[in-house]
Chain A
Amino acid sequence: MSEAPVKGEIRIERITKKFGDTVAVDDVSFEIPGGEFFSMLGPSGCGKTTTLRMIAGFEDPTAGRIVLEGKDVSFVRPAKRNVNMVFQAYGLFPHMTVAQNVAFGPKIKKVPKAEIAERVEEALATVRMDALADRRPAHLSGGQQQRVALARALVNRPAALLLDEPLGALDLKLRKEMQLELKRIHATTGTTFVYVTHDQEEALTMSQRIAVMKDGLVQQVATPRELYERPANAFVAGFIGTSNVLTVRSDSVRDGLVVMDLGDGDRICAPDTGAGSGGETKIIVRPERMRVWGDPDGEGMSRVHGTIAEVVYLGSMTQLIIDLKTGERVTVHELNDDLKGALPRTGDPVVVQWAAESSFVIDDTAAVNVAADLKSPG
């Protein structure tokens, strides 16, 4: 069946990659619409870089296929694919100037000289390196080299740009600057960006959609907000942002909530998954949904006494590490604006409260997320 090729669309269909007996990528599928900023996120060894290299053509898939703009390019050589890669180590040619580096791609493709000069200028302007066109890579800083690598890829007007943890070698401040730069360049050029990183904050900052991977499998593909607020499983919940995991024993069921009684008016309420009384479930609550010094109230509120183990003051907010009387340890983020009075100290007794809707039930194996059925929090 032929569909009109969409510019920059990439389809990964049931891709598997084995190195000997090791399975690096296990039956992975997802679609990237043209022009999207898409990230693959996960810990080392999860298969994200391998997948990227298969899209680029440096690895052949063991099974499955890669469809670029409607064409099957699974075994097409990297030189012939209309995608370009920005490597982690930049790979700039040391014996050429910045301009010559950027001109390399068009020159190989035998673009006429006048047009090359024009395109090089354009590309360098996009990454704001036009002033340094005659420098050699050795005389550039890390961030500058990064941008040249970017220009060198963009100048070819590829259907998609593949980036392999390009910001890893930069210091924090520069990294953050570059993240915003990349976002801007993406908006300006409209090229599909496929980005690989292990830094969840980075992925959340730049991407329109993220594929979270672990051990060669895709755990969830969603927008940053969905990943954060409705993680598919415990891994995603733990990987994206901080999360607190609590065990809830359902002592009774009331109004669609299971309740665990802890005495002294303390209780934990969680959405009922239909397990009935006597069962046990795990829930996850985000740190900012738990309150310690805000004004709580209402039915269906979980409420537990605890002691403060650590106070970490972070300027706009404070991170409190609290040992609940259930024996579990939780992290609570509170805005300092809401604080009236002095900061609590280690050893202070506190009461931690949160709404039942702020928690979602987690099951490691299945993608159960009952909170999606309730009204979405916030």
Chain B
Amino acid sequence: MAQAASEGAVAPPGRDGSASLGRKPFAVRVRRALDTVGGRTFAIAFIIVLYGPLVMLAVFSFNDSIVFSLPWSGFTTRWYQEALGDENLRGAIRNSLLVASVVAPMSVFLGTLAAYPITRLRFKLRGPAAIVVAAPLVVPWLVIGISALIYFSKVGVALSWATVVPMHIVVTFPLVTVIVAASLARFDRTQEESAIDLGASQFQVLRHVLLPHVAPALIASFILAFSWSFNNFEISFFVGGFDRLFPVWVYSTLRHAVNLPIVNAISTLVSLAEIAFVYGAWLLITWRAGARTSKEKTETLMDAIR
């Protein structure tokens, strides 16, 4: 009688096939416990492996020692001061920020321009157009970078802003297209027709009905374009000249010296900034649209990737 009342016996027919009453409740309970506990530990372990190194990086950026070893030498912020004092480093960060701030808006602009006809207009070359726009996402950045390097030298353009910005735009705007297209595709035609029925002109429909719907996608793709540009290594390496952009700076510095604690420091700063940036954008998006759709936002992202 205790068995019949025990948890396992009256478990709903769910993940553990306990449709039969009373049989092996203990085994079922163990399995279910393993399920959740196992699952949770797995997820936690995953998070640790993914973010752990960065956390360690942050921690050791305050360590008063050149070596990355356990004997903790003492708390210091001198690496941060050194990092911020380094001319090259400051220049690299400034450049990366400037490039990203130009690339991101242009990407969003171009990406939306491409997304609109692909999702909302019907024309014969729609399929091929979509493929061409999506192509830069599939072609390895290595190949794009190299081809750009050769191209610019043949065309006679020196490696500089003029080469980096367009190349960044080329690899980021397809992503914007994908994200915005996903949002446009999900747009409720009935809303649009209602607005027209109520007397709105095409422009008014765009402004009052379509734009609010698409706004989260626009913001999200801006964020992504910005970080892709800032973090971009492969392309910048080939078309950006040496040491001029932040990721390339890190790479070059590391290739030639072993452990530079100032790399720790600046990396931590940059990572924190990026996290704050994304989190802020996240808050912005969810505030605009209401809590329910924050789930939708991530779903949009995933639809986009599909």
Check A-B contact in the complex, CB < 8 A.
Answer: yes
Chain A positions within 8 Å of B, measured between CB atoms, are: 56-58, 77-80, 84-85, 87-95, 104-105, 108-109, 136, 138, 149, 152-153, 156
Asked if B191 lies at the interface with its beta carbon under 8 angstroms from chain A, I say yes
Asked if B160 lies at the interface with its beta carbon under 8 angstroms from chain A, I say no
User: Which among B195, B197, B212, B289 has the greatest number of chain A C-beta atoms within 10 A?
Assistant: B197
Report B-chain residues with C-beta under 8 Å of the C-beta of A105: 198-199
What is the chain A residue whose CB lies nearest that of B202? A79
Asked if B204 lies at the interface with its beta carbon under 8 angstroms from chain A, I say yes
* In contact, B197 and A85 (Cβ under 8 angstroms): yes
Beyond A87-B190, A90-B190, A92-B191, 7 additional pairs, beta carbon < 8 A: A78-B193, A78-B197, A79-B198, A87-B194, A93-B194, A93-B208, A109-B199
What is the chain A residue whose CB lies nearest that of B197? A85
Q: With A and B bound together, what is the CA distance between A90 and B200 in angstroms?
A: 17
Closest beta carbon of chain B to A68's beta carbon, Å: 14
Asked if B146 lies at the interface with its beta carbon under 8 angstroms from chain A, I say no
28 CB < 8 A contacts A-B: A58-B193, A78-B196, A79-B196, A79-B198, A79-B199, A79-B201, A85-B194, A87-B190, A89-B190, A91-B191, A91-B192, A91-B193, A92-B194, A93-B194, A93-B212, A94-B191, A95-B213, A104-B198, A104-B200, A105-B198, A105-B199, A108-B198, A108-B199, A109-B199, A152-B194, A152-B198, A153-B197, A153-B198
Asked, given contacts A89-B188, A91-B188, A91-B191, whether A136 binds B197 with beta carbons under 8 Å apart, the answer is: no
- Which among A90, A91, A95, A104 is the interface contact of B212 at CB below 8 angstroms? A95
Q: With A and B bound together, what is the CA distance between A93 and B204 in angstroms?
A: 13
Size of the chain B interface, CB-CB below 8 angstroms: 21
Report A-chain residues with C-beta under 8 Å of the C-beta of B209: 93
Asked if B13 lies at the interface with its beta carbon under 8 angstroms from chain A, I say no
Q: With A and B bound together, what is the CA distance between A153 and B212 in angstroms?
A: 22
Report B-chain residues with C-beta under 8 Å of the C-beta of A149: 194
Closest beta carbon of chain B to A80's beta carbon, Å: 8
Asked if B292 lies at the interface with its beta carbon under 8 angstroms from chain A, I say yes
Closest beta carbon of chain A to B250's beta carbon, Å: 42
Report A-chain residues with C-beta under 8 Å of the C-beta of B194: 85, 87, 91-93, 149, 152
What is the chain B residue whose CB lies nearest that of A56? B197
Report B-chain residues with C-beta under 8 Å of the C-beta of A152: 194, 198
Interface string of B288-301 (1 = CB under 8 A from A): 01101000000000
* In contact, B212 and A87 (Cβ under 8 angstroms): no
What is the chain B residue whose CB lies nearest that of A83? B197
Q: With A and B bound together, what is the CA distance between A77 and B199 in angstroms?
A: 9
- Which among B188, B190, B200, B290 is the interface contact of A79 at CB below 8 angstroms? B200
Q: With A and B bound together, what is the CA distance between A78 and B200 in angstroms?
A: 9
Report A-chain residues with C-beta under 8 Å of the C-beta of B213: 94-95
Report B-chain residues with C-beta under 8 Å of the C-beta of A87: 190, 193-194
Report A-chain residues with C-beta under 8 Å of the C-beta of B193: 58, 78, 85, 87, 91
Report A-chain residues with C-beta under 8 Å of the C-beta of B195: 93, 104
What is the chain B residue whose CB lies nearest that of A80? B199
Closest 8 CB pairs of A and B: A91-B190, A91-B194, A105-B198, A89-B190, A95-B212, A108-B199, A91-B191, A79-B199
Asked, given contacts A87-B190, A89-B190, whether A156 binds B292 with beta carbons under 8 Å apart, the answer is: no
Asked, given contacts A87-B194, A104-B208, whether A95 binds B289 with beta carbons under 8 Å apart, the answer is: yes
What is the chain B residue whose CB lies nearest that of A108? B199
Report A-chain residues with C-beta under 8 Å of the C-beta of B289: 95
* In contact, A138 and B198 (Cβ under 8 angstroms): no
Report B-chain residues with C-beta under 8 Å of the C-beta of A57: 197
What is the chain A residue whose CB lies nearest that of B289? A95
Report A-chain residues with C-beta under 8 Å of the C-beta of B191: 91-94
Q: With A and B bound together, what is the CA distance between A78 and B196 in angstroms?
A: 6
Q: With A and B bound together, what is the CA distance between A84 and B289 in angstroms?
A: 28
Closest beta carbon of chain A to B286's beta carbon, Å: 13
* In contact, B197 and A84 (Cβ under 8 angstroms): yes
